[in-house]
C-alpha cells in the first residue's frame, strides 16, 4: 500500500479491519510509505526520528557479554542456527558470544578439510559492534588450523559483495586450491546483533546441506565447551600470534572491487549524465568505498554521511522503535528522503552493503519491487553482451509485475524460494542475467555476460539508477509509472498471523491437494504451489494465484507466527479480500 504522508497531520492505516492512528509530523510532503514489511501492531512514536539516548545500545556491556557470556545449548535460542543468511544473535541474549564463533569457525575448518577446500578464506566484517571481536576470534581459530586468511588492508570494513567478488576472481580458471569466504555481519539488523555466514567457493550463500553440516558440527563443539570438559576439539592461538602468522595475509578488497566496477556498469554513461547524485552508506561497511569510487570514475556523487558509530545514533528509528539500517524502510531512510529535493537521485545501502534503496525527486523512496521491475526492463534492453537465453531470477514472494515485464521482454522467468542461494548456479553459468529479492537484494552479470557476484550487491543496483537516468533521461520512479501504465499497477502488502509450532510445521509441509478452495477474492484460482516453478524446490509454505493477484504464506523461523505476502492488480480493496481469503485458506489447512 502507498500512503502520502502530509507534512503535519495524521495517517490512518486500514489493515484487515483494524484502524491504526499515528502522527507523522516530521515526514516531508508526499513522502511515499510502502507498507510492505509487516502488519503494524502500532507505530512507535520514535519512527522516523533520531533515537532517544535511552534507546542506544551500551557498547561496553555488549562487548563484555561477547567474551563473558556462556550460552546454554539446551536452550534453542542460544544454540547455533543457520538461517538464510548464516547465524545471527546477540551477546546480551547469549546467542552470539565468543563460544559460538569459536565453534562455528572450527566447524568451517573441519568442513573445508572434509571437502578438500585448501585455498584461502576471504574474510570481511561490517560495522556492527560485535563484528570486530568476532573477526578476531575467527582469525585465532583459522590461524591455529593453518588456514590461509585474506583480511582487509588496514583492517578496513568489507562489504559482502567485495568478499563475493574476491572469491570469484581468485577462483577464476582454478580447479584446485579454491578459495571460500566468511562474512561477519547481521545485515541491517539492530546495533546489538551479530552475524556470521559462510560462502563456499562459488562465492554465494552456502546451500542448506552445507549450513546444516556446519551448524550440527558447531553445536557439538559448543556442547563440549559448556559441559566443562574443555574445548579440545577447537584449535586456537592468541590474536597477536594469529595476526603475525604466515597464513594471515592482507588483501586490497576496496581497490580490487572498485577497479572492476566498469565491467558491470556503464561508467561513461553515468559520468556523461547531468544528474546530481548522493549516497548515504548508513554507517555501513561501504562507508569508505564511495568517495574513492566517485574519484576513480569522476562521478558527481556526494557522500552525505561518513559517520561510523556502533550505536548508529545517526539513524532515524524504524517503524517498531528499533534502530535498523534498512534502506527499504521509509522510516530508517527519512534523513535521505528529507534531502530528496537537493539531488536528482539519492541511494543508500545497508550495513554490509548487500541491499539498496533508491530515492528520487519524483517518487521519493522506491519500494524494492518497483525498482526491480525497472532494473529488469532496462538491463535486458541495454546489455547486448548477455546471452539471448539469459533469464530473470525472482523469489516467489516478489511482485507479479516482474513476470509481466519479463514476458514482454521475451525472457524466461526463473522463480525460486526465498534465499539468494537459489540463484548462485545460474549466475555462475550466465543463464541468469538479473536476480532480485523483494527485500531489496539483487545482482546482475558483467557486460560480457560473465558472473560479477553470486551474493547480493548493493553498490551496483544503486549506481545503475544513475546509469538508467543518464541514458533514458527519466528517473526510475518515472519509468516505473510507465511500466504500470502499460501492464497494471499492483499493490502489495504483508501481514503476520499467529500459529503454534505444530501449525507452522503443517504449513511448511502443505500439499496443494489439501486446499479445497476454488476461488480467491472473487476470481478462479489458477495455480497452487508448494514448490517453486523455477527449480522445483520446496518453498516451505503455500503460494496461491489468480489472474490478478496472489498470496504466499510461510512460517516464521523465529516466532510463533506465519507470514502472508499478497499482491493485487485490482486495487487495495481487492488486496484486502486476498489477505482475508488467504488467512482463511491457511487457517483451515493448518487446523486453526
Residues marked as catalytic: 187
Paired with 563 in beta bridges are 496, 554
Strands 301-303 vs 277-280: parallel, antiparallel or unpaired: parallel
**Cβ-Cβ contacts under 8 Å for 468 (sequence gap 6 or more):** 374, 375, 378, 474, 475, 476, 479
End-to-end CA distance of the chain: 28
Q: How many of the other CB atoms lie within 10 Å of CB of 443?
A: 29
DSSP string for 373-400: HHHHHHHTTS-TTS-TT-EEEEETTS-T
Residue whose entry in the numeric block shows the C-alpha cell 515485464: 405
Measured in degrees and rounded to the nearest 5, phi and psi for residue 431 equal: -80, -15
**Cβ-Cβ contacts under 8 Å for 521 (sequence gap 6 or more):** 546, 549, 568, 574, 577, 578, 581
The Cα–Cα gap between 469 and 479 comes to: 9
- Sign, CA dihedral 155-156-159-163, equals negative
* Cα→Cα distances 480→333, 487, 499, Å: 20, 10, 37
* Cα→Cα distances 153→124, 163, 249, 250, 500, Å: 11, 13, 9, 5, 48
CA atoms within 13 A on the CB side of 494: 20
Would you give the DSSP letter of residue 317? B
Q: How many of the other CB atoms lie within 10 Å of CB of 575?
A: 22
- Report residue 262 as a C-alpha cell: 566498469
DSSP string for 37-91: S---S---TTBTSPPPGGGS--HHHHHHHHHH----TTSGGGS--EETTEEEEEG
Residue whose entry in the numeric block shows the C-alpha cell 526492463: 377
SS3 category, 439? coil
Angle (CA) 21-26-32 rounded to 5° is 70
CA 364 to chain centre: 21
SS3 content of the chain, % helix, strand, coil (to 5): 35, 20, 40
SS3 category, 576? helix
* Closest by CA position to 461, among listed 436, 483, 484: 436
Inter-residue contact 532 to 417 (CB < 8 Å): yes
Amino acid at each position: 500500500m502507498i500512503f502520502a504522508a502530509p507534512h503535519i497531520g495524521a495517517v490512518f492505516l486500514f489493515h484487515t479491519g483494524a484502524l491504526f492512528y499515528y502522527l507523522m509530523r516530521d515526514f516531508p510532503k508526499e513522502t511515499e510509505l510502502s507498507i510492505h514489511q509487516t502488519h503494524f501492531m502500532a507505530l512507535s512514536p520514535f519512527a522516523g526520528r533520531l533515537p532517544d539516548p535511552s534507546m542506544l545500545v551500551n557498547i561496553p556491556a555488549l562487548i563484555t557479554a561477547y567474551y563473558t557470556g556462556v550460552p546454554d545449548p539446551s536452550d534453542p535460542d542460544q544454540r547455533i542456527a543457520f538461517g538464510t543468511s548464516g547465524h545471527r544473535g546477540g551477546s546480551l541474549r547469549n546467542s552470539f558470544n565468543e563460544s559460538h564463533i569459536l565453534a562455528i569457525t572450527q566447524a568451517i575448518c573441519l568442513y573445508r578439510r572434509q571437502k578438500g577446500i585448501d585455498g584461502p578464506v576471504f574474510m570481511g566484517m561490517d560495522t556492527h559492534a560485535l563484528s570486530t571481536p568476532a573477526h578476531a576470534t575467527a582469525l585465532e581459530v583459522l590461524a591455529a588450523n593453518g588456514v590461509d586468511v585474506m583480511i582487509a588492508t588496514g583492517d578496513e570494513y568489507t562489504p559482502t559483495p567485495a568478499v563475493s567478488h574476491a572469491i570469484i576472481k581468485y577462483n577464476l580458471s582454478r580447479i584446485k586450491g579454491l578459495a571460500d569466504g566468511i562474512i561477519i555481519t547481521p545485515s541491517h539488523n539492530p546495533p546489538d546483533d551479530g552475524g556470521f555466514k559462510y560462502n563456499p567457493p562459488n562465492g554465494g550463500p552456502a546451500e542448506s546441506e552445507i549450513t546444516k553440516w556446519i551448524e550440527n558440527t558447531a553445536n557439538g563443539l559448543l556442547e563440549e565447551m559448556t559441559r566443562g570438559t574443555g574445548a579440545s576439539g577447537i584449535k586456537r592461538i592468541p590474536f597477536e600470534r594469529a595476526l603475525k602468522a604466515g597464513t594471515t595475509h592482507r588483501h586490497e578488497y576496496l581497490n580490487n572491487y572498485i577497479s572492476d566496477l566498469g565491467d558491470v556498469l556503464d561508467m561513461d554513461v553515468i559520468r556523461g549524465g547531468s544528474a546530481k547524485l548522493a549516497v548515504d552508506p548508513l554507517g555501513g561497511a561501504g562507508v569508505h568505498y564511495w568517495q574513492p569510487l566517485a574519484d576513480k570514475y569522476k562521478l558527481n556523487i556526494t557522500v552525505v554521511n561518513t559517520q561510523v558509530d556502533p550505536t548508529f545514533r545517526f539513524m532515524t528509528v524504524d517503524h517498531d522503535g528499533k534502530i535498523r539500517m534498512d534502506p527499504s524502510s521509509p522510516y530508517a531512510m527519512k534523513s535521505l528522503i528529507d534531502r530528496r529535493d537537493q539531488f536528482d537521485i539519492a541511494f543508500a545501502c545497508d550495513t554490509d552493503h548487500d541491499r539498496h534503496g533508491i530515492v528520487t525527486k519524483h517518487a521519493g523512496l522506491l519500494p524494492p519491487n518497483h525498482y526491480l521491475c525497472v532494473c529488469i526492463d532496462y538491463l535486458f534492453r541495454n546489455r547486448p553482451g548477455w546471452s539471448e537465453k539469459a533469464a530473470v531470477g525472482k523469489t516467489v514472494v516478489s511482485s507479479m509485475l516482474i513476470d509481466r515485464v519479463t514476458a514482454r521482454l521475451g525472457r524466461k522467468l526463473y522463480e525460486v524460494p526465498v534465499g539468494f542461494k537459489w540463484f548462485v548456479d545460474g549466475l555462475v553459468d550466465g543463464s541468469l542475467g538479473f536476480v532480485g529479492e523483494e527485500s531489496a537484494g539483487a545482482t546482475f552479470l558483467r557486460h560480457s555476460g560473465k558472473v560479477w557476484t553470486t551474493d547480493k550487491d548493493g553498490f551496483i543496483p544503486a549506481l545503475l539508477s544513475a546509469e538508467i537516468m543518464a541514458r533514458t533521461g527519466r528517473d526510475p520512479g518515472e519509468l516505473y509509472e510507465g511500466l504500470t501504465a502499460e501492464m497494471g499497477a499492483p499493490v502489495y502488502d504483508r501481514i503476520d498471523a499467529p500459529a503454534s509450532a505444530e501449525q507452522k510445521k503443517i504449513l511448511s509441509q502443505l500439499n496443494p491437494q489439501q486446499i479445497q478452495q476454488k476461488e480467491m477474492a472473487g476470481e478462479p484460482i489458477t495455480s497452487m504451489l508448494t514448490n517453486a516453478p523455477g527449480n522445483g524446490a520446496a518453498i516451505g509454505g503455500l503460494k496461491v494465484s489468480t489472474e490478478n493477484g496472489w498470496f504466499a504464506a510461510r512460517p516464521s523461523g523465529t516466532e510463533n507466527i506465519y507470514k502472508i505476502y499478497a499482491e493485487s492488480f485490482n486495487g487495495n480493496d481487492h488486496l484486502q479480500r486476498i489477505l482475508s481469503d488467504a488467512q482463511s485458506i491457511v487457517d483451515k489447512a493448518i487446523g486453526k
